[in-house]
Structure 1
Amino acid sequence: MWEIVTAGGWLMVPIVASSVIALAIIGERFFSLRNDKVLPVNLVADVWRMASTRQLTEDKIREIQQASPLGRVLAAGLHNRSHDREVMKASIEEVGGHVAHELERYLNALGTIAAVTPLLGLLGTVIGMISVFTNITTVGVGNPAQLAGGISQALITTAGGLMVAIPALMFHRYFRRKVDGLVVDMEKESLKLVDVLQKRQSQARVAQG
């Protein structure tokens, strides 16, 4: 394997480095974008239970905020729970935008790797073919070994670039789709909490009236 990499020439260095970075990003994103880490089960129900039993103190809200991305979004609404629905919704959407940006962390780098590594492979192909034609010009076509060296370099770098780019592109699209789904689910859960809290406030006002 190492012989194949070295036969590809110096352009295999950035291609191999890109593959290592892509693997690190993919592993990190798989860990960070787990559903139970981003959207803890029954979090909205737990928050509602604390709110209904008047256990929802500022310390509890801070604890919820620091526990998960969904918690950050819910905390934005809870900090404004004494206001009307539009204020709560606006604060949730603002924080939700920041959370969505954080969920997309490193995805631009992964997309860049998917776009650049085929170009590096193509550059290796061009350099290899230049080497082939240079040898033909200087020594003719009587030495197959020298011609094969340039062609081999061209094919190896092209294959290496594609081997990195294809999975990088696949996982980039997968994680983009996953982030979109998580953001939609966070919005649904947050609005569910807003509606429940607003309903409770309305009932309290009617009871007081």
Structure 2
Amino acid sequence: MKKIINTVSGLLLTVTTSLSYAQQAANLDELLNQLEQGKIAQSEQNRLREAEFKAKLSQQDQLLTSAENTRDQQIALSNRLEQDFQNNEIKLANQSDALNKRMGELKELFGVLQQVAGDTKSKFQTSVISAQIPGRDVFMEELAKSMGSSSKLASIEEIERLWFELQREMTQSGKVAKFTTEIVLANGERKQSEVTRVGGFNLLSQGKYLEYINETGSIAELIRQPSARYLATAEQVTLAPAAITPFALDPTGGSILGLLVQAPDTQERVEQGGPVGYVILAIGLVGLLIALERFITLFIVGAKVSRQLKEKTACDNNPLGRVMLVKTQNPDIDTETLELKLSESILREVPKLSSRLTLIKIISVVAPLIGLLGTVTGMINTFQAITLFGTGDPKLMAGGISQALVTTVLGLVVAIPMVFLFTLLHTRSRNIINILQQQSAGIIAERAEAEKGA
């Protein structure tokens, strides 16, 4: 192949030289002479190339022979290694069979130990006891890996420590212990504080619940604490751990507590109602203020009327006194005229006694209707979320449903007390009016008897 390439190169060089000479020659004789000289030079060059190729031919044979020898050596080495590998596999299988026969029931025992170590590692990682006694999960993980990745058998010391850690976990889960460590506060600050551990259930510090973060091995204060009734018991346990104290513990180690702190409080419930909820509360507040003003007014008026009933002298600072003054101011009029004047006086007092009670009744009726409006609005938002995102994620529908239910609840919460307040105030108002009518009837009867006697 190399010889053919050299021959082609020589021919190309000859043609190129001939063309060059043709361009430089002045006539045919000169051109012929130039071509003759070029042919002689080309022949000499080809001869040198052939000599060089023949000289390297023996060297190429030596390289080929050396490569073949190397190949044969590597093939022999590969065959020998393959045979050794097969022999080693046979020996390994024989040794494994012998090991299994000698281990017998111990193999099952170590398998159970490995499984227990793996399960216990997960338990220790999330246990609040690890906040006080760290590093136990590391030992369990190393023991499980060493027994699973190789044929290494657990030593007596490792088995004893596994039993000891299990026993210590059970013992500590029934104790209330105190220890000092660094905790992360809700604002991100770190400080050394005394922590109270209630068995394997909860961590407390200064009357607040803590959580154990197993990824970092740190203890952090819950950003959001449960309701006050749980914090009160937590503070009692912190102050007097040796005494018998009612305490709300979390048997799941934090799962129930995490759900409990996510429950919205009263303010957040109201905020879920949105603008409609605020309107209902505003109306309820107005109704409550009116009811309070009416209750105070009717209470004062009722007290004055009661005092007036015990006195014979009429005073104009109460409705009954003003009705009785009609008799005093008109001593000579006939019974029918007196009756009309008393009726007129009572009619003047009735609007004062029943003032704004109708507004309370209206609020008791309107509040549920506004709550129903919020319910319809919330359901519209829910159906819009279903239209856009489907029903795959219930959280997308929770906002609309919350608004629908909260506004309904707020409407009922406002309406029910308003009904009771209206009934109470209306009854007190009617009682005072009845007293006025009774006294008016008595005055008329007394005047009629006087007229008949005369």
Instruction: Pick closer, same or farther for the CA change 1:197–1:41 going to 2, 3 Å.
Output: farther
The one-letter amino acid of 1:15's match is I
- Gaps in structure 1 of 5+ consecutive residues: 48-60
The one-letter amino acid of 1:112's match is I
Structure-to-structure mapping, 1:120-139, within 5 angstroms = 120-139=370-389
Name the count of aligned residue pairs.
187
Which string of whole-angstrom CA distances, capped at 9 and with x for unpartnered residues, describes residues 54-112 of structure 1? xxxxxxx6xx22x1011222223332221011111111111211211111111111011
Match of 2:443 among 182, 193, 205: 193
Aligned to 1:179: 429
The one-letter amino acid of 2:268's match is E
Contact preservation (8 Å) 2:273, 2:407: yes
Match of 2:338 among 85, 88, 104: 88
| 2:392 alignment partner, SS class | coil
Please tell me the root mean square deviation across aligned C-alpha atoms, in Å. Answer: 2.0
The one-letter amino acid of 2:270's match is V
Distance 1:42 1:105 in 2: 22
In the alignment, is residue 17 of structure 1 matched against residue 282 of structure 2? yes
Which string of whole-angstrom CA distances, capped at 9 and with x for unpartnered residues, describes residues 152-174 of structure 1? 00000000000000110122122
Distance 2:279 2:331 in 1: 52
Aligned to 2:161: none
Cα shift at 1:200: 5.3
Distance 2:267 2:311 in 1: 55
The one-letter amino acid of 1:7's match is Q
Cα shift at 1:45: 4.3
Distance 2:445 2:311 in 1: 13
Aligned to 1:40: 306
Distance 1:88 1:43 in 2: 20
Cα shift at 1:132: 0.3
Cα shift at 1:7: 1.0
Which string of whole-angstrom CA distances, capped at 9 and with x for unpartnered residues, describes residues 25-59 of structure 1? 2211221112213x133447423xxxxxxxxxxxx
Distance 1:124 1:196 in 2: 60
Contact preservation (8 Å) 1:118, 1:165: yes
Distance 1:33 1:42 in 2: 15
Aligned to 2:327: 77
Normalising by structure 2, we get a TM-score of 0.39
Aligned to 2:176: none
Instruction: Pick closer, same or farther for the CA change 1:31–1:113 going to 2, 3 Å.
Output: same
Aligned to 1:164: 414
Aligned to 2:295: 30
Of Structure 1 and Structure 2, the greater strand share is in: 2
**Identity across aligned pairs (percent)?**
33
| 2:274 alignment partner, SS class | coil
Match of 1:3 among 268, 276, 296: 268
Cα shift at 1:182: 1.7
Cα shift at 1:5: 1.2
The one-letter amino acid of 2:312's match is D
Distance 1:153 1:135 in 2: 14
Distance 2:414 2:308 in 1: 39
Distance 1:74 1:9 in 2: 54
Contact preservation (8 Å) 2:308, 2:321: no
Distance 2:404 2:346 in 1: 47
Q: Which 10-residue stretch deviates more, 73-82 or 90-99?
A: 73-82
Instruction: Pick closer, same or farther for the CA change 1:174–1:71 going to 2, 3 Å.
Output: same
Distance 2:377 2:400 in 1: 8
Q: Which stretches of structure 1, 4 residues or longer, exceed 3 Å deviation after superposition?
A: 42-45, 193-203
Aligned to 1:116: 366
Instruction: From the CA coordinates, give the structure whose radius of gyration is larger.
Output: 2
Say which structure, 1 or 2, has more relative contact order (CA 8 Å, 6+ apart): 1
Distance 1:166 1:36 in 2: 28
